[in-house]
Structure 1
Amino acid sequence: MKNIFQTLLERSRLIVILIFTIALMGIYTFLTIENREIPEIEVNVINITTPWPGADRADVETNITNVIEGDIFGIEGLESVSSVSQDDVSVVTLELTDDADPDQVENDINNLLGQVGGDLPENAAQSQVDSVSNAFPLISYIFQSENGDGLDGLRSQVEDLALDVTQMEGVNNVTVKGYDDQTVNINLDREALEEEQITPDEIIQEIDQSFTPVVLGTRVEDEQNIRLSFQDTAPLETFENIRVGEADTLLTDIAEIERVPDEREDIVEHMGEEAVSFTVFLSPGEDVPSTSEDVEAVVEQHTDQFDDNISISVISSERENVEDIFEGLYISLLIALIAVIIGTSLGLSFIGSAVVMTTVVLSILIGLIPVPWMGVDLNQISVIGLIIALGILVDDSIVVNDNIERRLVNGDSKSDAMYNGVREVAPSVIASTIAIVLAFSPLLLLSGANGEFIRALPSILITTIIVSTVLALVLVPALRYLAPVRKVPEDAGVFGKTFTRLSGWYADKLVPKFIKRPVITFIIVLIISTLSLGLFRFTPFEFFPEADRSEVTVDIIYENGQTIEETHERANDVVDYLDETVDNLEGVTIFTGDGLPNLFGASLDQSGSHTAQLALYIDKEQMSASQVIDTYEEELREAFPEADIFMETIVQGPPEGAPVTLDLSNDDLGVLEADLETIRSTLEGEGAIVTSNLGRPVDTVTYSIDEEALEDAELSISQVKNELNLLGQGVPVQEIIVDDEQVQSNMKYADEFTLEDIEIIKFSGDQPETFPLEDFVSTDDTNQYQAIAHENGDRQVAMEVYNLEEERVEEIVDGLSHNLADSTGTVVGGEATDQTDFFVEIGVLFAVIVVLVYLVIAFEFNSLVLPLIIVFSIFLSISGGFIGLFVTQTPLSFMGVMGMVSLAGIVVRNAVVLVDFIEARRKDDSMDINEAIIESGRARLRPIILTTITTIIALLPIALGGDALFEPLAVTIIAGIAFSSILSLIVTPSLYMIYYRLKYKN
């Protein structure tokens, strides 16, 4: 082994050149890796949408949803299946398992739909299969007309812009809100139809024939092929020239043809004026800054051609957010780098400090190389991982370098100092590195969005720590061997003499006292640590903190049934109220209808003409977003009790669910809806706000067909349904192109005609017979839900409850058990349950981590008892973490828990190097047990203190930077390492002495 090591030393220059060359790849990776604000979270969801125009929700459930769900469960890779059957459409949502192949699942679904397509209604549209993308908003513009002329003239330019941007690399799609779709209505004059003896079916047939393309092909003239073409008239002119019936009656004589706005889906208003929003969405896996710059350039080219009266505002820019965040993080990274330099120079020689610093930087760069292949990009979490890594990576290099310098001081030759310095600490360094890697690896298995959110942290730490260990054992001795310095001062470093005196004082004064009464020492440390754990009860809790942003969103949900124009008007009343009451409000954008285009982390699960979302722009220096919500949300609800109002802000983490969820299930739809109303009214009586995936019942006119009367008159149900369709929304007849826009044409009776005016014509015999439609149809005014929901094939209602704690909701539901049907199942959950599930999962993973660390150390020392001494330092670090959170009153959060888990791998190294030194001296009989323990303190105190100081200094900018997401992580690690390092220096010698006396008592 020594000969191999000597051979490597002689080739130190080649080794150094090779490592620096590999580091260039790391620099390239750093410069080219995708940048984003938060980690990309995969959305494994597929939607199957099947429109059936004119169908009732019950018919949709029976004839479409049930048919698809009947076979869908046979597809592999599905986690759950949910569906909503509502008037006109069925939507089946499939959630995939983490290990499923989305492309394969989608292919299987298409094959299945091909098989069951014949079982679906003939007049239902083809099912559309769409994967729900995890694309997020890159940049959002607002276009407005300054002179109030409106934005209709800008529509074609906006559509051209959307087309160009959508085709750009890195762009997933573009959403334009604020423009109305158009439709061509053919309003039939029922009296004119009867007079001309023309049926609607004849009109539809004639329209289809009039729009049938003319295929002329080619003809041969003088042995040449002559292409033939047909110049068609404009679609609207075609309608006007259509003739129907035996008398060739013009369509315009029996119907009014008009182009009208379709039912509006969105109304956008910015700063009190009409607006159009233009939002660009980033494709998964793309770089935010570079893609945004490209998009901004294209948008600028187009908007330069806009009229001078058009103003353009940016209301959201992910690039600006990323640049602001990364500027602060890179400053923290630079400070951490400087901290490592300062920390290492305190107790190492100049050349030793330079070697350690070089090794750390190269470890970071080389450790980045495999990161893109692990599905990790450069985001807040990964940069924080680099900062934490800086504090940890110095351990290996300091331990190896310090031991080499110690061997040089003791008089070893240069080559012997390199070999002995590495050989003595290599086992403990490798073992502790394996322990750290095994400690962080289980975090890669953390499930769900939380797991994807944090995955960058363990990924960065694992790769950089492995590289650090390799470089510490290879590069450090190579650089020290090439260094011209042959002698090392005994008291190296800025505070070298201080460290020497401190080591002597610790070894000669403190350690003898600890090992003289080891049991008492251990009990005292155990009591202090155990009591410290109780501080968690007095520590604030916040799972994910709010982001430091200037936007607050307001969801406004009114009763179903009102028009979008009325909703917009009432939303403006809310804005007026906010203008008068919120002192730090700087502006508002209103999105009525479908709501915000996923901006500011806000979206509406069930949007429509009765919903609106407001984006409030606040001065966060006067009052933060959370303070605005706490101050004004209840006040707003009291001022507008007719609406359900929710104020939210962006959270620094995965999207959160409702605070409380309540699922009801029952196969009997009537019973299920009745129980829903019972629970809803009771909860609302307790002050709760309740929403559900069924919405709320709406005023409904139910039409019932008298089939016996139809049979007596020898009429078909289809005749009645056709007449009702023409009285209602109408019958789609033809899609046409008008002004380069695709427009749907629709045929219906004119609005002045009602049920009482319509007669069914029966063509049989010599003379047609007429029957009043009202003889076969009765109406009933009811109040009904618009949807039927399923969960895994069973009818279920998903409710969301606000303003009540989960425990209180459980009490209320339990108390209502005698009022609910015995067949109705209830399940209460929510954020608290989700967080409990997370803590249970992380607790299991933490137990696995401790066992893995124990096994690694047990393998190194070939002992089942000795590793318990080292593992005890993990307990000390957890206690220290709670002390740090309590003293600083930093909330215990998701990232704080990650800090606790991280400590399990970090802190064992100090105890490992102490125990390893003692074991080596005990086994070679060079010292008795007391001397071995004392000398271990003298030899290892310096690297333990140096690594602790450098880690703490590296993390201080994060702990003091005010970032609510990462502050708990930094505080936990700093306090845990400090507490564990101090108490490990006390308890480790004591525990080893107890272990020695029990094992070698004879």
Structure 2
Amino acid sequence: MKITNFAVKNYQFTLIIFLLFAVVGVLTLFTMPRSEDPTIHPPEYLITVIYPGTSPKDMEEQVAKPIENKIYGLENIDKMLTTIEDGVAAIQVKFKYGVDINNKYQEISTEINALKNSELPKDIYLVKTEKISSSDVKILQAALVSDNASDKLLRDQADILKTRLEKITNLKEVKYSGMPEQEIRVDVQLDKLAQLKIPLNIVAGSLQSEAADIPGGSINLDSKVFNVKTSGKLKNVEDVANTVIYNANGKIIYLKDVADVSYKSEMVNHIIRLNGHRSVLVTAAMKDNVNIAQVQKEFLPIVDEFSKGLPSNIKLVKTFDQANMVSQRLGHLGFDFGLAILLVAITLLPLGFRASLIVMISIPLSLAIGLIALNLLGFSLNQLSIVGLVVALGLLVDDSIVVVENIERWLREGHSRMDAILKGTKQIGVAVVGCTATLVIAFLPLAFLPDAPGEFMRSLPMAVITSVLASMVVALTLVPFMGSRILKTHAHGEGNFFLKQLQKFLTYSYRGIMPRALKYPKTTIGISLILSAFAFFLFTKTGFKLFPTSEKPMFLINIKMPLQADIPESDRVTKLIENELKQHKEIVYYTSNVGKGNPQIYYNIHQQDVKPDFAQIFVQLDDEASPASKVALIKQLREKFKSFPYAKIEVKDFEQGPAIEANIVVRVFGEDPDTLRKLSFKVEDILRNNPGTVYINNELNTYKSDVKIEINKEKARTLGVLTSDVDKVIRMAVAGLTVGDYIDDRGDARNVVLTLPKDKFSNLDAFKNLYVNNIQGVPVLVNQIATISFETSPTAINHFNKSRFIKVTSLTKEGIYANDVLKDIVPQLDKLKMPPGYYYKLSGEAESEGDALGGNFLSVILLSAFLFIGVLLLQFKTFKGIIIVLSIIPLGILGGVVMLLITGHPMSIVSIIGFIGLSGIQVKNSLLLVDFTNQLRAEGYSIDDAINKAGETRFLPVVLTSITAICGLIPLAWNPNPLIAPLAIVLIGGLISSTILSRIVTPVMYKLIPPSIESI
């Protein structure tokens, strides 16, 4: 081959180029972006609207529907999922992949801003639009722990650490949580307002006017420009208390005359404890495309220095540092890689020391070139790309071994070193290129997986493709060059001791089988077909779970309280759970979050927003805890909390793959709430009666009670009162109103909030003393124009693409897969009698699998199949050759499936990748046999002689490549990471079965349907 001739004859140039690749590869390893998970930027956005005190029904009509109508009209919308609860609406918007992410963000922001100025209520507390990105995951979570420090001291210390961390350029979203901010609270005395007949909206208007900070503009004096400053912001409690709110018959009424004004902490809506002790969390995320190890070097000194300067009653505990996990994972893989290299070196002994040395040098060099290409393509070093490099380790040794072994064979036959190098490489070169092409095409569909799963997984197949292509280049250039320098001619044609023994073993093993197999080819193929059918039968017994469970030594406990439980009640129950966790010595940290979720520390688990009847505990085990011990603890805790009396306790492990709400989600669509509720009970019964389900949740199981204030519009019109003014006064009294801000002693703006003392709302009589001004400014009692009652309403309302639905969710028990449960429940769901216009759809794992494996992926699979066949046609120029080569694939699948069953792993995206890689290796091995058989026939050998000689000659490198791949994969099969072990297990099992059987099946198939040599 020309490239080989060039590399050998210009050896100085070849040496320099590959030394350059080696140096750049090492530098790339230490400098390329490094993170735990791939950074993905899906065209997905989250619109969150917070409107405290608003029922789900009102949120739906006043907030959700106007936003949905606007956003759904944008181009390239894929999905829109809306969740509406008390005072909160969350709208997840997903566009089709390929759109400009920033442009779509601007479009959404423009529409939301327009709605804020038109259709949305003016007193909404918060409307925010966020891009969803995997880089939002916190890489650092530190707790400031103290049982006796004041709120202000803890808050100030957290703010100091936050300010210092914000100065690190590679960090973003540095926040602290768990401690309410200070504010000036204006608790209005209703009885005094009623006595003076001062409407509450007058008090609010006076405060807003006093708090307004309007720039005075600028003036020109003596050719200079001076800014004009006016009164400025409120400064302290005295400023607020002395605000004039009313002038009654010449008597000035100050705010302090009708209200208690004081510094207070905001309403507590998020309580944090670490191992049962009061805490504040400081968290930080990392920017895209940076090295997490380098970022850790930047923030650790700051955190350590800050910790030393803390008051004696405050302790800093760094509970979560993702950089340590990444380092630990890379360390384990580095050890596995080193062990694999050692085992590979041992298996190469039959080639001899010099030949083995060439192969051993080619392996890290191929990986280095693959790593350089991966970095240039914009990928980072993460758990998926590392898995890809692991797969590549089992594949890329093949090319070098095949080339070296063929050169060695030529040398053993007595050829000169240069002839052996050039002619031996040329003889095998076309087959090597064809084999590499088939491998690349085999992994191509994975590089084109659609949507978020595709973007998440893409670095894995790309790592394989770049490394395999690099190994081909190395095998055809560096290997011949090194061979021309260090290989020597052989005095004995049989090779060294190890080669003789291996050759003798292979000859002896197949001596009795091969003649019979070739004598009865149809019987042999019949047995092969039976084994193939058995392999596909075993597929149905493995179970299927697209993305595996995480092996990390951590999990979550979700505490779901009865409806309308408040923060103190949720906190009481959380403490009971903490008491149980204290008994388990294997638990290092448990971080309790009452009223809110833990900050996001895993890429597909987003933080639950403020919810008084919810709590979450983030549980961390020792770093060296095994996945089995974690699973056992989860099972034990689930059993312990199964009948917990005060709340529903869900112990949940982290899952790989895209975010899903639960393993099984059944959505029932329709418009009438009562009909939907009845259907939800039927769906719930189906799920509850299945033995594989756990933690069944039906949002419509119970309704909540709301206070309804019904305004008599006829009376209101008669008295000249505007309905909107009544709504504002009620809202101000119940939820409070931020009327301005003041500057605290750290220079930060804090809120001034007008509200009523909470003890005044122990009953509904407080509403009787509320006044509202009519259009003439005359105060009117609210209870003159409104009646107060209770009404029931749903706890949540859901929309999908603007259509209302209810959902019933369930997790699956340990060892049971969602697909197995769905096989049982789907027929029952199909039998449900639903009214016209009502129907169900599956979400959860079922939807995730459909998104990942449907649509474009099937098209790419089809395209890859044609490319695969096309490459083989170029190689053999006949369909018979293709059939012979592909006939071995089912036999490799047999070994892979058997190994999955033995080890207890389900079929997953990882094992699918293993089977894809396995098919490439099998085709490669079979192709080597068929290609050499064709060459021998072209030289004049008969079919039988060509089959026998090709089997004896080429089966040796096939066995060597398989053994080296298996030995390289053995350490990885023991790895606890479910993204690595199943893949290695499939490859090992498949290589064992296909290597043993290919020596029989491929020659027999060749004899049955020998390709025409004239066409080759």
Would you say same fold, with TM above 0.5? yes
> CA 1:97 to 1:240, structure 2 compared with 1: closer, same or farther past 3 Å?
same
1:992 is the counterpart of 2:991: no
Deviating more after overlay: 860-869 vs 439-448: 439-448
Residue deviations 1:567-605, cap 9 Å, x none?
10121123334546x575565332111121124675565
Paired position in structure 2 for 1:785: 794
Q: Structure 1 residues 53 and 882, CA, compared in 2 at 3 Å: closer, same or farther?
A: closer
Match of 2:727, as an amino acid?
A: K
Secondary structure of 1:828's counterpart equals strand
Gaps of 5+ in 1: none
1:343 aligns with 2:347: yes
Q: 2:805 aligns with which of 782, 796, 803?
A: 796
Partner of 1:855: 870
The residue matched to 1:495 in structure 2 has which SS?
A: helix
**Residues 1:322 and 2:326 are matched in the alignment:** yes
Matching residue within 750, 754, 777 for 1:747 = 754
Deviation at residue 793 of structure 1 after TM alignment: 1.5
In the TM superposition, what is the alpha-carbon distance from 1:488 to its structure 2 partner?
A: 6.3
Cα offset, 1:938, TM superposition: 2.3
What whole-Å deviation, never above 9, does each CA across 1:833-872 have from its counterpart, x for those lacking one?
6457767788887676555433311221100121100011
Within 5 Å, give how 1:495-644 maps onto structure 2.
495-502=498-505, 511-539=514-542, 544-579=547-582, 584-585=586-587, 588-599=590-601, 605=608, 607-618=610-621, 620=625, 624-640=629-645, 642-644=646-648
The alignment status of 1:404 with 2:407, answered yes or no, reads: yes
- Paired residues of 1:684 and 1:690 also in contact (CA < 8 A): yes
Amino acid at match of 1:701: V
Which of 285, 294, 297 is residue 298 of structure 2 equivalent to?
Answer: 294
The match for 2:822 among 806, 816, 819 is 806
* Residue identity in the other structure for 2:186: I
Say if 2:881 and 2:1011, in contact at 8 Å, map to a contact too: no
Q: Which residue matches 2:238? A: 237
Deviation at 1:500, TM superposition (A): 4.2
Map 1:295-314 → 2, pairs under 5 A: 295-314=299-318
Corresponding residue SS for 1:429: helix
Q: Could you tell me whether the CA contact under 8 Å between 1:356 and 1:398 is conserved in 2?
A: yes
CA distance in 2, matches of 1:916, 1:300: 64
Q: Is the 8 A contact 1:340 1:391 kept in 2?
A: no
User: How much has 1:557 moved relative to structure 2?
Assistant: 0.4
Equivalence for 1:720: 726
> Taking structure 1 as reference, are residues 247 and 87 closer, same or farther at Cα in structure 2, changes over 3 Å only?
farther
User: Per the alignment, do residues 606 and 646 of structure 1 end up closer, same or farther by CA in structure 2, a change over 3 Å counting?
Assistant: farther
Other-structure match for 1:26: 25
Per the TM alignment, residue 684 of structure 1 is displaced from its structure 2 partner at its CA by: 6.2
The root-mean-square deviation of aligned C-alpha atoms, in Å, is 3.4
* Correspondence for 2:119: 120
After superposition, the C-alpha distances for 1:801-831 in whole angstroms (9 at most, x for unaligned) are 34694355546655653xx644333223433
Whether contact under 8 Å (1:546, 1:626) holds in the other structure is no
CA deviation digits over 1:509-543, x for unaligned, max 9?
65444333322222233333433443345547665
TM-superposed CA distance for 1:916, in Å, is 0.9
- Cα separation, partners in 2 of 1:87 and 1:454, compared to 1, 3 Å: closer
Q: 1:294, CA displacement in angstroms? A: 1.4
Q: How far apart in 1 are the matches of 2:528 and 2:685?
A: 56
Residue aligning to 2:664: 660
Q: Structure 1's 996 and 114: CA in aligned 2 closer, same or farther, altered over 3 A?
A: same
Equivalent pair of 2:166/2:174 in contact (CA under 8 Å): yes
Mapped partners of 1:745, 1:418: distance in 2: 84
How much does 1:884 deviate? 2.5
Change (3 A) 1:697 1:690: farther
Q: 1:247 aligns with which of 248, 251, 255?
A: 251
Distance 1:223 1:843 in 2: 73
CA deviation vs aligned residue, 1:81-106 (integer Å, no higher than 9, x gap): 12244555543321132322211111
Q: CA deviation at 1:442?
A: 0.9
Structure 1 position 957 matched with structure 2 position 971:
yes
What is the CA–CA distance in structure 1 between the aligned matches of 2:582 and 2:11, rounded to whole Å?
71
The residue type paired with residue 629 of structure 1 is I
State TM-score, norm by structure 2: 0.89
Could you tell me how far apart the structure 2 residues matched to 1:908 and 1:389 are? 16
Q: How many angstroms does 1:903 deviate by?
A: 0.8
Aligned with 1:119: secondary structure? coil
Q: Deviations over 1:13-41 (max 9, x none)?
A: 22222222123222211111223334344
| Amino acid in the other structure paired with 1:169 | T
Which residue does 1:13 correspond to in 2?
12
Change (3 A) 1:612 1:807: same
Unaligned runs of 5+ in 2: 814-820
Q: CA deviation at 1:915?
A: 0.9
With 215-224 and 927-936 compared, the bigger mean Cα shift is at: 215-224
User: How many Å separate the matches in 2 of 1:688 and 1:485?
Assistant: 67
Structure 1 residue 614, shift from structure 2 partner: 1.9
Question: Using the alignment, how far apart are the partners of 2:961 and 2:69 within structure 1?
Answer: 62
Aligned match for 2:715, one of 705, 709, 734: 709
1:672-706 per-position Cα deviation (integer Å, ceiling 9, x unaligned): 45654665578668896443678963221111111
1-structure distance, mates of 2:902, 2:796: 52
Q: Distance in 1 between matches of 2:826 and 2:513?
A: 56
Q: Is the 8 A contact 1:503 1:937 kept in 2?
A: no
Answer yes or no: is the 8 Å Cα contact 2:189–2:258 preserved in 1. yes
Equivalent residues of 1:399, 1:943 under 8 A apart:
yes
Which residue number corresponds to residue 917 of structure 2?
A: 902
Q: Deviations over 1:393-422 (max 9, x none)?
A: 221112222222222333333333222112
Contact 2:445-2:864 at 8 Å conserved across structures = yes
1:76 alignment partner, SS class: coil
Change (3 A) 1:665 1:483: same
- Alpha-carbon distance in 1 for matches of 2:276, 2:93: 40
For residues 56 and 395 of structure 1, do their structure 2 counterparts lie closer, same or farther at Cα, with a shift above 3 Å needed?
Answer: closer
Structure 2: distance between partners of 1:116 and 1:218:
34
Matched with 2:743 is 737
Q: Is 1:760–1:772's contact at 8 Å kept on the other side of the alignment?
A: yes
Q: Which moved more, 1:66-75 or 1:533-542?
A: 533-542
Is the CA contact (8 Å cut-off) linking 1:659 and 1:806 kept in structure 2? no
Contact 1:44 1:98 in 2 (8 A): yes
> Normalized against structure 1, the TM-score is what?
0.91
Match of 1:756 among 751, 762, 768: 768
After TM superposition, the structure 1 stretch with the greater mean CA deviation from structure 2, 106-115 or 223-232, is: 223-232
Any conservation in 2 of the 1:734–1:744 contact (CA below 8 Å)?
yes
- CA gap 1:522/1:848 in 2 versus in 1, 3 angstroms: farther
Contact 1:507 1:937 in 2 (8 A): no
Q: Which amino acid aligns with 1:138?
A: I
Is residue 403–residue 428 contact of structure 2 (8 Å, CA) maintained in 1? yes
What letter is aligned with 2:705?
Answer: D
Percent of matched pairs sharing the same residue? 24
**Deviation at 1:289?**
1.8
| Equivalent residues of 1:50, 1:124 under 8 A apart | no
Find out whether 1:363 has 2:361 as its counterpart: no
Deviation at 1:638, TM superposition (A): 0.7
Q: CA deviation at 1:887?
A: 4.1
